[in-house]
Structure 1
Amino acid sequence: MAILALKQRSADLAPEPDSSGPIELVRYICAIGALQSAAAIPRVVPITHCGPGCTDKAYMNVAFYNGFQGTGWGGGPVTPSTNASQREVIFGGADRLRELIESTLTVLDGDLFVVLTGCIPDLVGDDVGSVVRDFQKRGVPIVYAETGGFRGNNFTGHEAVVQAIIEQHLGPDAGERKAGLVNLWSLLPYQNTFWRGDLEEIKRLLEGIGLKVNVLFGPDSAGISEWRDIPRAAFNLVLSPWLGLSTAKLLEKRYGQPWLHIPVVPIGARQSTAFLREVAAFAGLPSAPVEDFIAREEARYYNYIDGFTDFYSEYWWGLPAKFAVIGDSAYNLALTKFLVTQLGLIPARQIVTEDPPDEHREAIRAQFRAIDHDVSVEVEFDEDSFVIHDKIRSTDFGQKPPIIFGTTWERDLVKELKGTLVEVGFPASYEVVLSRSYVGYRGALALLERIYTTVVSRSA
């Protein structure tokens, strides 16, 4: 498989690297990887102004060797790129970008074009904004975002793309609000291997209690018409530990929209029911229809769980008791909450890998410390797989083989520990993912199937 730009660290070096140094087996890509966030919006075409290979590497890593998710409308190998060379470094690449945009408009059909910059134009100072504004004045639906790799990873790049669309493409006037309409800001497209199925399930749950949802990304989105409807929503829902908070604050400032932040993505009946009741209370929905929907979902969920308990009670002695989660904060927190509160498993190590901004880390720690009324977890933040794997090796998993919720990077480690691996994040190169979801009532059932099929298959 294609591997990100890495540097192997020899075993005799200190296990705690300098935070500014190289890291091994990284679990995100640079900011220009947000081209896939643009591609996740139906009929949107990203255009990259960057060096040769950057666009292809971003696609291959986050969208191909990560569940083999495919390209989107204009992503992947379809993405136009300037492939900036030494000439653009010396003389600037603005003219090359202008030529590329003109060609793209001639060849590709799109409702919106999003220009993303790489390291070369950001370092040499190309005036990309001026080039794009010339097209905007002509009525071309186009925006730009500065996403040079030194600016951050694809999480921060995603926020830059969202901000660019809001500030450069949406109108200044909110107009009349639509009662019951909510804008959903949640999982990072493509980086989260199961984002399409997860957003579909979250939308289904919210619509089940009577809301209308601008899901904004993925096949359930209406595309740019839905984005233009953002100012008319009654409120914004941020369903993640931190991603989307800056967007909600921007929309509050720009349109006066209130927002609700729920840090834990719900998995299973307990969390899903709590999630729906919190949203319903914030939205001022009548309780009877909400409770009717919850009752139907719980009845279906627990009917399947009732059958599962036959297996669980028979094989509990051979099943893993302790687990570790290695991955981004959204899935790490959601999985840990589910596994502790609804399966009774014991958290042994939780490592967050996406390098969340410092201002959000204490809030993330607080969520892990309140996993359940009698369970507190100390989460760790680490990006370097060399260090992460050493920490997992030193973890006490008790007498039973551990179960690790991680990525392809953990396959050899789990074999070494004689444990079980469930790939739940980037890169997931041994999973083919179409519409699978692990969130909500229905996603939790799929997750249980995946966990225990993997466990019993390993012991066969």
Structure 2
Amino acid sequence: MSGVVEELRHVCALGGYESVLAIERAVPIIHAGPGCAAKIWSTLGLQNGCQGTGYIGGHSIPCTNVGEKEVIFGGVDKLHRVISNSFKVLDADLYVVLTGCTSDIVGDYVGEIVDEFREEGKPIVYAETGGFKGSNFLGHQLIIDAIIDQYLKQSDEIEEGLVNVWATVPYQDTFWAGNFEVIEKLLNSIGVKANIIFGHGKGINTLNNIPKAQYNLIISPWVGLENVIHLKEKFGTEYFQYPVLPIGPKETAKFLRAVGNFMGIDNNIIENEIERQEDRYFYYLERAADVLLETRLLPKHFITVADSAYSLALSKFLINDLGLLPKKQFITEGVPKEYEKQVKQHFKGFYNDIVPEIEFTNDGGKVNEYLRNSNFRTKPLILGSGWDRVISKEIKGYQLSTSTPISDRMILSRSYLGYEGAMRLIEDIYSVILQDFQ
């Protein structure tokens, strides 16, 4: 074995700083070597759906740019100056200091510096996110834990019906902004007050409301689970996990019923909303029935190359709603060993007892080898990243970029979740297919 991993689809733990940028008026302060933050921004911000920079992101992010001097003598003095100057020139509600590999290896006492500013009443926290610790999925978790432990305070009042919503990792999930908006609308439609932490209009107030919530809702197979467990331990907030991002009528109805049942919401409210949404969804689907069914353009088989949340969500929709057959599903984010069995369990309960074959790998070379050596009777549908465009052309498949990095599309508020999102997904799949006839 060569030991070479091709076509990586995530970044290092320091990349969790993108989760800070997803909180309005929050600023990351990077204590790392020159170029670390810029490379991550280029990967997740520019080359992944052209998502941009956030409030103070990209080349505006404060950074200590540690070098040989700081490696030898330590970088805490430089960090102190950068933090102090950041408070003078950057208007923000929360500052999050993040460490890179160099400062973590050297052992700079970042916590002491941050505590000094916090004692002065500054809204600042820190997380040790040296890239060698893992991916930005871990970085995201470490940052949320840092906010829980160092910023949030116990609330004397619990607001009935208020639910904190946790789902995918911002910026790593190219569709994160639109997804959170759709989730909020879905929950609001059945009377749930959704406290969304990330995205437009979501900033310090939503953070401050976290301890006031009646429940935490996590929509993920595993990402964020340790954070909601931590919130339960600190604030006593019960949590409910729904492992599947809801795409399409079947999964979205199950999602609404599950949340409603957990919260004790009147069943009539839930069923009326489902009926209303399905009526509109099937109106448009019936209009396109001739194209969808009689022309037989839809591929028979599909492959996903994505993180577990998207691989599971897309598989549920394509099998249960569109009737496609799964080939191998590649899960790319490096699921921790302790969660692999749990993730596999979620890939059950499909229509006709179909159980997709899954493989945990972040090596694009293995994906390419599988696709080259598979005998597809018809053109397969490949739902992956921009990396998969080349192999898709090679095997004459249909490819749609739905996971990081998305280098061939601009994503603003687009989402594939819910009823409306499912129609967008069908549109995008058929647009790829129809281009083959041009």
Please report the TM-score for the alignment, with normalisation by the length of structure 1.
Answer: 0.94
Say if 2:160 is the partner of 1:179: yes
Instruction: Give the CA deviation at 1:220.
Output: 4.5
Which ranges in structure 2 are unaligned for 5 or more consecutive residues? none
Moved more, 285-294 or 75-84: 285-294
CA distance in 2, matches of 1:286, 1:170: 32
Alpha-carbon shift at residue 149 of structure 1 (Å): 0.6
Matched, 1:129 2:107: no
Is residue 179–residue 233 contact of structure 1 (8 Å, CA) maintained in 2?
A: yes
User: Contact 1:175–1:231 (CA<8 Å) still a contact in 2?
Assistant: no
Equivalent in 218, 239, 245 of residue 265 of structure 1: 245
1:433 aligns with: 411
Q: Is 1:74 the equivalent of 2:63?
A: no
1:254 corresponds in structure 2 to: 234
Q: Does 1:42 align with 2:20?
A: no
Alpha-carbon contact 2:327-2:357 (below 8 Å) kept: no
Q: Give the structure 1 partner of residue 334 of structure 2.
A: 355
Matched, 1:379 2:358: yes
2:402 aligned with 1:424, yes or no?
Answer: yes
1:309 is matched with: 289
Aligned partner of 2:235: which letter? Y
Question: Contact conserved, 2:371 with 2:395, CA < 8 A, in 1?
Answer: no
Are the equivalent residues in 2 in contact too, given 1:348–1:395 (CA < 8 A)?
no
SS at match of 2:38: helix
Q: CA RMSD in A?
A: 1.0
Give the distance between the partners of 2:113 and 2:96, measured in 1 at CA.
Answer: 13
Unaligned runs of 5+ in 1: 1-13
Which residue of 2 is the match for residue 407 of structure 1?
A: 385
Distance 1:392 1:117 in 2: 39
Q: 2:199 maps to what in 1?
A: 218
SS of alignment partner, residue 55 of structure 1: helix
1:189 equivalent in structure 2: 170
2:32–2:100 CA contact under 8 A, matched in 1: yes
Match of 1:366 among 340, 345, 349: 345
- In the TM superposition, 1:23-102 aligns within 5 A as 23-102=5-84
- Partner in structure 2 of residue 143 of structure 1: 125
The reply on whether 1:442 has 2:424 as its aligned counterpart is no
* SS state at 1:369 partner: coil
User: Over residues 83-130 of structure 1, what are the superposed CA-to-partner deviations in whole Å (9 max), with x where a residue is unaligned?
Assistant: 111111111000000000011111110000000000000000000000
Q: How does 1:206-245 map to 2 (within 5 A)?
A: 206-221=187-202, 223-245=203-225
* Structure 1 runs, 4 residues or longer, greater than 6 Å off: none
Identity %: 43
1:11 match: none
Matched residue of 1:115: which SS? strand
Contact kept, 8 Å, 1:369 with 1:375, in 2: the verdict is yes
| Alpha-carbon distance in structure 2 between the residues aligned to 1:303 and 1:199 | 25
- State the 1:307 CA deviation: 1.0
Change in CA separation of 1:237 and 1:396 when aligned onto 2, cut-off 3 Å? farther
Q: Residue 413 of structure 1: SS of its match in structure 2?
A: helix
* Aligned partners of 1:51 and 1:84 also within 8 Å: yes
- Give the length in aligned residue pairs: 438
Q: What amino acid does structure 1 have at the position aligned with 2:430?
A: Y
State the TM-score, normalized to the length of structure 2: 0.98
Q: What's 1:337 paired with?
A: 316
Shift of 1:373: 4.4
Contact 1:236–1:257 (CA under 8 A) maintained in structure 2: yes
